[in-house]
Each structure stands twice: as C-alpha cells, then as structure tokens.
Amino acid sequence: MTSHSAVGCSLLSECFRVHIRGSGARPQLSWSPPPEDSIKINVDGSSLGKPGHAGIGGVLRDHTGAELCCFSKYAGVVDSNIAELLAIREAVEVFLASRVRDKKLITESDSKIAVSWVNNPNAAPWSVRNIINYIVNLRSQISKSVVLHIFREANQRADFLAKQGLTFSQSLAFSAATTLS
C-alpha cells in the first residue's frame, strides 16, 4: 500500500533551517537536505501573465545536498498555478525515471495552492483535475511520497531554473552520469 504521509518531516525544523538574526528580525529560511533515506526535489513554475508564457524548473538532491539532476523547461502559455502543477508533475516523472526511485520522495514547492490541490485533489478546480490525477497516479508508484509547501527563500535554485525555462524552446535536463537510468 502506498503512503503519501510525511517522510521524516514531522516538524517544520526538520524540513529546512531557520536562522534568526537578532531579536524581532524575520527568520531567514534556507534549503536543508532530506533524511538519508529520501530524495528531495524542489520545484517552481513561473508565468508572465494570467495566462502567459511559462517555464518550470526543479532540482533533485540527496541527503548530502548534492544535485543529482535538475530540469528547466518551457511550459507553454498557462497561468502560474498550472505552471506550478506542471513542475510538480515533471519532478515526479524525473524521480521515477531515476536510479534513486527506490528512496522516499519529498517534493517541495513555494505554491501553497498547488501543494494543497495535490494533497487534496477533490478541492482542486475541475480545470486542473487532469494534471492532478496524473500526479496522483505517478505518486502511487512511489513507496512514500510527500508534497510540502516551503517558503520562497528556501526555493531559490528551482525559481532560477523556472525563470530560465521561459527562455527555452526545448526542455533541458542536466544530470550526474550515475543518477538517471
């Protein structure tokens, strides 16, 4: 039976580091690695309108923080919510195609809406249900998978890759030679 429950991230502090500078200052958030038995993929979507030209990006990292693979892709003319969902879909596809697909998967996005729709498909509008259902079906092939919201400050690499995707006419994926099959 597939479980989509939290993968070693029961506490906020386990999922990313919080640095506080002085009293009363807003916490500074940064990316933190997943547990040793997990892979973390940070994703982002970027759209230049509602709808507008969009790009998606993501980075797959292991428990040491090493980048195993990243992607940057033009996503067509869509709104930002669909771009975020397409980034999550692409991340799960990349994970399933990789040699590390036997590990637990933590997918992080800075879109609260996309994360809530993936975690509660019945709450998603009908217009995105095909994408959501496809993501749900992909995740059913993973032993443990969780999709979490993170703050933008902890998602800078994925944000950069999504913005780069706006400039491409083709998909680009970069990987370490030993990561993808």
Rounded to the nearest 10°, the torsion over CA 68, 74, 75, 81 is 70
Residue 162: both structure tokens together: 């999504």
> What is the C-alpha to C-alpha distance for residues 21 and 44, in angstroms, rounded to an integer?
27
Q: What confidence tens digit (pLDDT) does each residue in 143-169 have?
A: 999 999 998 888 888 999 999 998 876
27-31, 88-92, 113-117: the lowest-pLDDT one? 27-31
8 vs 122, higher pLDDT: 122
Residue 176 confidence class, pLDDT cut points 50, 70, 90: low
Q: What is the pLDDT of residue 166?
A: 87
Q: Label the pairing between strands 172-175 and 38-47.
A: unpaired
Residue 96: both structure tokens together: 């399933």
> What is the C-alpha to C-alpha distance for residues 162 and 54, in angstroms, rounded to an integer?
8
Q: What confidence tens digit (pLDDT) does each residue in 12-70 have?
A: 333 444 444 455 555 557 888 999 999 999 999 999 988 999 999 999 999 999 999 99
The answer to whether 29 and 151 are in contact (CB under 8 A) is yes
Q: What is the mean pLDDT of residues 74-97?
A: 95
The predicted model scores a pTM of 0.80
> What is the C-alpha to C-alpha distance for residues 41 and 106, in angstroms, rounded to an integer?
6
Nearest to 87 by CA among 103, 71, 66: 71
